[in-house]
Amino acid sequence: MAARRLQADRVAVVFSARDGTTPPFRHDGVPSLTLGPLDAASARALLDERTTSPIHPDVAHQLLEQTAANALALVELAPTLSPAQLAGDSPLGSHLPMTPDMERVFLDRARRLPEQVQSYLLLVAADDSGQLRSIARAAAILGLDEATAGAAEASGLVTTDDDTLRVRHPLVRSALYQAASSRERRAAHRALAAALDGQDPDRQAWHRAAAAEGPDETLASALDAAGTRAENRGGYAAASRAYERAAELTAGAARRAERYFAAARNAWDGGELARARALTATARNETDDPVLRADIDRLRGRVEVNVGSSSAAHRIYVNAAAAVARHDPDRAVDLAVAARGLAAYGGDSGVALAPETLSTQPIPGESARTRSLRQLLKAMTAASEGRWSDGLDLFRECLADGVTDAHPDVLAHFGQAALYLGDDEAAERCFETMLGGAREKGAGMTALYALPRLAFPLFVTGQWSRVERCAHEARSLAASTGQPALSATPLAWLALLAAVRGHELPAVDAADLDEVVEHRALGILAGPTADLRRWSAGVRDAHAGSLAGAHHHLSRMRLPALTRLAALDRIGAAARAGEVEWARAQIDDLVPFAEATRWPWALGAVHHGRALLATAEDAPHLFEASLVHYSTARRPYDLARTHLAFGEHLRRAQQRVEARAHLRRALEIFDDLNAGPAATRAANELRASGETARKRDVSTQLALTPMELQVARLVAQGLSNKDVAAQCWISPRTVAFHLRNCFAKTGVSSRGELAQVVLS
């Protein structure tokens, strides 16, 4: 009224009103803006602004989900959470706490309704299924008639859709539930449990548990069984919550600890790492059983390995192995192997493994798995001491035992050892098997572990399209599970692929990589991610002609497993930049490994490096020796670069005819790999030798995106849309969308025709 009567002065007036106010606010003739939920980035920025302690990504994701990114709720809730809750070390609970202002906002309309209508709304808030029929039966049990239900629906606080009835906003649901007394909540759950009699035992067990007033082993056992059923069908989040509630209802400390651990294990499998960390802490405090503690510590370490501190994980593993060695040698060996593997990749805490955990003598009656892991521990110990030949022989004996297709932990141990020992084939096989098992079981964290590690053998063996698919899949999975830290290594792989292909990494990918590296704990992948970034920066500078810059980046790579993979880049950049002594030192470091393991790729790299530093008279023999070794290695990019370097040497020596064969072969391989800058360099050298490089016909190359290509390949294997969706971690509808794009781009109209195109 006042604003419409102002005449002489210019005054800005902002009116605000909530949806559903009575009487409704009329804004005729006034520009209006309807405020919706915040986007994820803005919501996260608001949380960071309003909290004084670091907030874990999982916790931020849960807060956004439970508040529907409502700005008022985030502002109000953030200061009420403890540092442990913000860090993910203490659970938030299924219903967020309500501040007085939030209760006033979200309960104002409900409190004006009749008491019976409020009771009906509490039923809806207490039920997580939204099934109208079960809610109606529960309402009848409480003596609430259809008129009450109609009044609740008319209030606008609930929404209906066919047979579904839900509270319109997650915060209204929390407010309704928490504003009720414990007696009223228990009555609602008892009615809902009774309404489900004989229809849904899992949900019935949940409601009975919610109505319990104290420990009850009968109810705990029912929830434990519900958790087992959920776990068996891959419903890890539901299983985790069922086990946790079962633990809360368990009187005995030993059984309670086991159920908390089961909850933690399923939280891990479901990608809820902050929740897994909190539950392992709770479980550990409930037990002094050394065997159970060893299992709990194995999971604690696994969380640290992925999104925490790798040195902390190493310390956990070493101490846990020592503590359980007398009670369960099998578990001690598994923990010792995990610790040794971390040390090999820069995660050494400085705490030494106890002698009893390093015993390599077999124990009568031990399992084949333990015997194999004991042998693997011996192999990794030998390798860490520079006894590469002994280490590789022992590793091959382990592989011959045939137990590496069993458990994902065993596959992880063997895959990491294979990478460290330079066995591309074994590494690929282990991580492929691990990934296949993860897809079959819907185990997202296992898939996230396997994908970036599988990329290592795929990259060096020239399977760059598969590397790209692995990186995109891992990045998508990291986003869908709310684990941005686990996107770092996939993004670093995309950066390296872009560098060798001569492309620019998309700005959004580059920004995401910078953000996650600067602000997230990357666990054991911090080292590989950093080295991949240095590798890609060095390759990019080398292609741009910045030889000093290339050497600067490549010389800063630190992990031995990766410096060996990048040997040709590192030695070549140093030699071209005039850093001859540094290049010679790298060759000398590689020689013991190459001569002991006899890997053709390692011997090829040694001879290639020596050829770059040799006299004009000695270089050809060294290049020829390098090519002999690379001809039996699955390293096409390194083979092509050796042909290129040899061809360049011959052309400079005025042996143009001899140079052309090597330059042509290099160009063919580079073109096959889509290694643009290297192909351009080879083509230029070929022209300088007096021969014109022929342009390749690219008209038949498919312009499919990585996800489209992955979908097409799976369809070509005969998988249904539903099976493809499970393998790619997307919905069947999204599969159909990608499939339509594949049909359009390839010009085919059936799955059979698409299979022929893709497989060819």
Q: Would residue 724 count as lying in a domain? A: yes
The whole-number pLDDT of residue 506 equals 94
Q: How confident is the model at residue 90 (pLDDT cuts 50, 70, 90)?
A: confident
Q: Which residue has the higher pLDDT, 162 or 94?
A: 162
Q: What is the mean pLDDT of residues 43-63?
A: 84
Q: How confident is the model at residue 21 (pLDDT cuts 50, 70, 90)?
A: low
* In contact, 704 and 742? CB cutoff 8 Å: yes
Q: What is the CATH number of the domain that holds 710?
A: 1.10.10.10
Question: What are 158's strand-pairing partners?
Answer: 167
CA-based R_g, the chain, Å: 31
Let me know whether 76 and 143 are in one domain.
Answer: no
Average pLDDT, the chain: 90
Element (H, E) at 159: strand 158-161
Task: Give the span between the Cα atoms of 446 and 247, in whole angstroms.
Answer: 25
- The distance of Cα 469 from the centroid of its chain, to the nearest Å, equals 14
Let me know whether 152 and 206 are in one domain.
Answer: yes
Please give the structure tokens belonging to residue 375.
């042998």
The whole-number pLDDT of residue 586 equals 98
Q: How confident is the model at residue 655 (pLDDT cuts 50, 70, 90)?
A: very high
Angle at 700 between CA 696 and CA 704, to 5 degrees: 115
Let me know whether 108 and 203 are in one domain.
Answer: yes
* In contact, 376 and 337? CB cutoff 8 Å: yes
Residue 483 scores a pLDDT above 80: yes
Q: Which of 31, 65, 87 corresponds to the end of one domain?
A: 87
Q: Which residue has the higher pLDDT, 624 or 101?
A: 624
Q: What is the mean pLDDT of residues 157-185?
A: 88
- pLDDT tens for 541-588 read 999 999 999 999 999 999 999 999 999 999 999 999 999 999 999 999
- pLDDT tens for 223-250 read 999 999 999 998 999 999 999 999 999 9
Q: How confident is the model at residue 702 (pLDDT cuts 50, 70, 90)?
A: low
The whole-number pLDDT of residue 699 equals 41
What predicted TM-score, i.e. pTM, was given to this entire model?
0.80
Let me know whether 80 and 107 are in one domain.
Answer: no
Structural domains in the chain (count):
3
Q: Would residue 123 count as lying in a domain? A: yes
The whole-number pLDDT of residue 697 equals 45
Q: How confident is the model at residue 20 (pLDDT cuts 50, 70, 90)?
A: low
DSSP 364-394: TT--HHHHHHHHHHHHHHHHHTT-HHHHHHH
- The distance of Cα 563 from the centroid of its chain, to the nearest Å, equals 24
Task: Give the span between the Cα atoms of 482 and 92, in whole angstroms.
Answer: 16
* In contact, 403 and 372? CB cutoff 8 Å: yes
Element (H, E) at 722: helix 721-728
Let me know whether 133 and 193 are in one domain.
Answer: yes
Q: How confident is the model at residue 700 (pLDDT cuts 50, 70, 90)?
A: very low
Let me know whether 118 and 52 are in one domain.
Answer: no
* In contact, 534 and 557? CB cutoff 8 Å: yes
Task: Give the span between the Cα atoms of 295 and 754, in whole angstroms.
Answer: 47
Q: What is the mean pLDDT of residues 76-97?
A: 78
Let me know whether 160 and 71 are in one domain.
Answer: no
> Which stretch of 13-27, 196-210, 507-521 has the lowest confidence by average pLDDT?
13-27
Buried b (16+ CB within 10 A) or exposed e, 703-730: ebbbbbbbbbbbbbeebebebbbbbbbb
Q: Which of 190, 211, 232 corresponds to the end of one domain?
A: 211
Residue 696 scores a pLDDT above 60: no
Task: Give the span between the Cα atoms of 129 and 377, in whole angstroms.
Answer: 49
Q: Which of 259-273, 354-368, 720-734 has the highest mean predicted lDDT (pLDDT)? A: 259-273
Let me know whether 65 and 107 are in one domain.
Answer: no
Q: Would residue 109 count as lying in a domain? A: yes
Q: How confident is the model at residue 759 (pLDDT cuts 50, 70, 90)?
A: low
- pLDDT tens for 509-536 read 999 999 999 988 999 999 999 999 999 9
Q: Would residue 672 count as lying in a domain? A: no
The whole-number pLDDT of residue 703 equals 67
The whole-number pLDDT of residue 23 equals 65
Task: Give the span between the Cα atoms of 506 and 495, in whole angstroms.
Answer: 9
The whole-number pLDDT of residue 760 equals 58
Question: If you search the block for the tokens 């008279």, which residue do you land on?
Answer: 617
Q: Would residue 420 count as lying in a domain? A: no
Let me know whether 71 and 104 are in one domain.
Answer: no
The whole-number pLDDT of residue 751 equals 81
- The distance of Cα 101 from the centroid of its chain, to the nearest Å, equals 38
Instruction: Note the residue count of the chain.
Output: 760
The whole-number pLDDT of residue 739 equals 85
Q: Would residue 341 count as lying in a domain? A: no
* 39: phi then psi, degrees, rounded to nearest 5: -75, 165
Q: Nearest-CA neighbor of 590 among 576, 571, 575?
A: 571
Q: Which of 87, 109, 126 corresponds to the end of one domain?
A: 87
Let me know whether 82 and 112 are in one domain.
Answer: no
Task: Give the span between the Cα atoms of 522 and 309, in whole angstroms.
Answer: 7
Q: How confident is the model at residue 3 (pLDDT cuts 50, 70, 90)?
A: low
For 749, the domain range is 706-759
Q: Would residue 118 count as lying in a domain? A: yes
Q: Nearest-CA neighbor of 44 among 728, 515, 401?
A: 515
Q: Would residue 612 count as lying in a domain? A: no
Q: How confident is the model at residue 404 (pLDDT cuts 50, 70, 90)?
A: low
